[in-house]
Structure 1
Amino acid sequence: MKAIVYKSTGSWYSVKNEEGVFCNARIKGKLKMDGITSTNPIAVGDVVLVEMENETENTLTITGIEKRSNYITRISPHNKNQHHIIASNLDQSLLFATLKDPKTSQGFIDRFLITSEAYHIPTIIVFNKSDLYGEKEKEKFAEVKSIYENIGYKVVSMSIETGDGVEEVKNIIANKTTLLSGHSGVGKSTFINTIFPELNLKTLEVSDWSGKGMHTTTFAEMFDIALGGRIIDTPGIRELGLVDIPKQELSHYFPEMRTLINDCQFNNCMHTNEKNCAVKKAVEDGTIHMDRYISYCNILDKIEEKSY
């Protein structure tokens, strides 16, 4: 039998079998995972092979896992040398961001986009809480929207408070498996509550003393959408560390740089101090936005080179 993993709580998994029935399942013994070094062998979204463990309690044993079409990871919160698979078998990801209460940094957005590019997962950026915008925020949104749309990303403005943009986002996620992500406090749980009011997911105010949202979701969890498709809610991520991306490859995950890297004089160009660099020339003439280039340089500086 096959089943899809909807939630992981550590040792037990909530899975939906081929008849559409939810059961509790667990791994018995050591599950052989080729080439996987994550802290969690099974993730939400995985298709697993199961067999009946206890008919009375309707519990299953997970005996194997189907090949993933893709997955997305983050650095493990418990061990920075290991990664943790957030979710698998995704059609797209929806990155929730806010310009106010709390403010999402452009560096965070760029790190998420790099991770999505590395794992071939299309990303839509949703700027929530547009009802809080003054003139300054409206100008900032127009600028940010222009930056990301010019390099191929879809950017949406939304206010759950007023309903503005909510239907557009619902249409984006219809009939697809979508990962919802972003800092705590940006409105993911509130958005899910507008789709599934019966869930009444816990939401918290942004903590005034830190300006950052409090964690309200502990484990990733998948929900079926009535209009077709699934969404995966993830724990609020304060920092998204990049996993296993060498410095030499970083520019490959900036779409606007990727098209130019073969035009640089040196094939190992890092786009910082080299002569005849096509990327730096594009920054100078405005083809590549300066903010994105600064983000690239900052991320480049923070990547720790591993010795293999």
Structure 2
Amino acid sequence: MAKQKKLSKGQSRRISANHQKRLHKAKQQKADTTDTTWQADNLGPTESAVVLSRFGQHADIETHNGEVLRCNIRRTVSNLVCGDEVIFRRAKVSEGDLAGVIEATEERRSQLTRPDFYDGIKVVAANIDQILMVSAVLPEFTPQIIDRYLVACEDMGIEPILVLNKIDLLDDEGLQNIEEVLDIYRELGYKVLLVSNKSEQGIDELKQQLVDKNSIFVGQSGVGKSTLVNTVLPNADILTKQVSENSGLGQHTTTVSRLHHLPSGGNLIDSPGIREFGLWHLDVERVTFCFKEFREYIGGCRFRDCKHLNDPGCLLIEAVEQGKISQLRFDSYHRILESMADGRAGARAPRV
């Protein structure tokens, strides 16, 4: 038997490339066949629904009469998130636990986004009225984190509510110190809630704030978001874990975003914990604008390219010196700009 001639490197590459093409074509044909099964005679008329949660290419949706269905997502529908209002069609003959297919999404009234190094700008939730930014005295009360969330809220045009959790851990002196910081935000017109799940202080006010609105809790891990969700929505059964005694950082306890109905009306979206909230997708000018107390001074500095740092004739610096702008907020502003300039664009929490 003749010895088989060894393939050259070029032949091996061409064979491998052809194999990959055939494999890709087979997968595409399978996907097309799967998508085709949701067409033709197997689908009913279009209906409206709201997305409760998404799992890869499937989503749980709720119809106007309260019926919850799990549906396939048409490949032409992208970026589907909690709170999206969708158009779907029921399957006359369902496939497993899939009851139909989502055909399209309605235009969003608002959306919460965050930058992602791999996916670009990532949408977290849609059609929300307010963002409740939860911080706590444990692991650490960090105004710089609050300012990052506020910039994001101002950029998206969504009302922010500041929620300080675990205040039962504060003594009188500690509470007074934090109140002085929170007064800065109150004077800017931001609503501030002080709550404690343990002592139940502020819980009724928190529940009232959620009535008839679509809300989402955001905040770093360990601040007690899931515990607060359990408090305002006992049947949600959101898992909670204690703050790590070794690192002081919270453990991620929510893995899939989900929309819950509140007994008093309105909806609450519980989403995975966010340790950092990068702002690297924003222009410097946009970040400056999103510090709302800066706006009346923007464009009035002596130099058009004023960096608001050591520049002569800077109106922002003058406002800080005159007590019209908080030094804490001004410093936080420059911390954000530093994180944007260092190439990582806020991908980590600011140094404190």
Q: TM-score, normalization: structure 1?
A: 0.90
- Name the counterpart of 1:128: 165
Evaluate the alpha carbon distance shift between residue 225 and residue 55 of structure 1 in structure 2; reply closer, same or farther with a 3 A threshold. Answer: farther
Three-state SS of the structure 2 residue aligned to 1:125 is strand
Give, in angstroms, the shift of residue 58 of structure 1: 5.6
The one-letter amino acid paired with 1:49 is I
Deviation at 1:250, TM superposition (A): 1.2
Q: Does 1:75 align with 2:122?
A: no
Match of 1:263 in 2: 300
Report 1:1-308 matches (<5 A).
1-31=47-77, 41-53=79-91, 55-56=93-94, 57=97, 59-76=99-116, 79-80=117-118, 82-99=120-137, 101-304=138-341
1:7–1:14 Cα contact (<8 Å) kept: yes
CA RMSD of aligned residues (A): 1.8
Q: In 1, Cα distance between the equivalents of 2:225 and 2:316?
A: 35
C-alpha displacement of 1:187: 1.4
- Per mean C-alpha deviation after superposition, the further-off stretch among 261-270 and 125-134 is 261-270
SS at 2:65 equivalent? coil
Tell me which amino acid in the other structure corresponds to 1:254.
F
Shift in Å at residue 65 of structure 1?
Answer: 1.0
Greater RCO, 1 or 2 (C-alpha within 8 Å, sep 6+): 1
Q: Secondary structure at the match of 2:100?
A: strand
For 2:48, give the aligned amino acid: K
Q: Compare 287-296 and 130-139 and name the one that shifted more.
A: 130-139
User: Secondary structure in 2 aligned to 1:155?
Assistant: strand
Contact kept? 1:246, 1:305, Cα under 8 Å: no
Give the Å deviation of 1:53: 3.2
What is the percent sequence identity of the aligned residues?
A: 33
Q: Distance in 2 between matches of 1:178 and 1:119?
A: 14
Which segment drifts farther, 104-113 or 286-295? Answer: 104-113
The one-letter code of the counterpart of 1:66 is E
Distance in 2 between the 1:305 and 1:247 partners? Answer: 13
Q: Cα–Cα, structure 1 residues 81 and 24, in superposed 2: closer, same or farther, change >3 Å? A: closer
Q: Alignment length, in residue pairs?
A: 295
What is the TM-score with the length of structure 2 in the denominator?
Answer: 0.79
Residues 95-149 of structure 1: CA distance to partner in whole angstroms, max 9, x if unpaired?
11112x2114221111111011100001010101111002342122211211111
Q: Gaps spanning 5+ residues in structure 2: where?
A: 1-46, 344-352
Name 2:35's counterpart in structure 1: none
**1:74–1:243 CA contact under 8 A, matched in 2:** no
Higher helix share: 2
TM superposition shift of 1:174: 0.5
Q: CA deviation at 1:202?
A: 0.7
Larger radius of gyration: 2
CA distance in 2, matches of 1:161, 1:304: 41
| Contact 2:84 2:105 (C-alpha < 8 Å) held by counterparts | yes
Q: What are structure 1's unaligned runs of at least 5 residues?
A: 34-40
CA deviation after TM superposition for structure 1 residue 25, in Å: 1.7
Paired AA for residue 285 in structure 2: Q
Give 3-state SS (helix, strand or coil) of 2:163's partner: strand
Q: CA deviation at 1:305?
A: 9.2
Counterparts of 1:42 and 1:171, CA distance in 2: 29
The alpha-carbon distance between structure 1 residues 301 and 243, as it changes in their structure 2 partners (threshold 3 A), is: closer
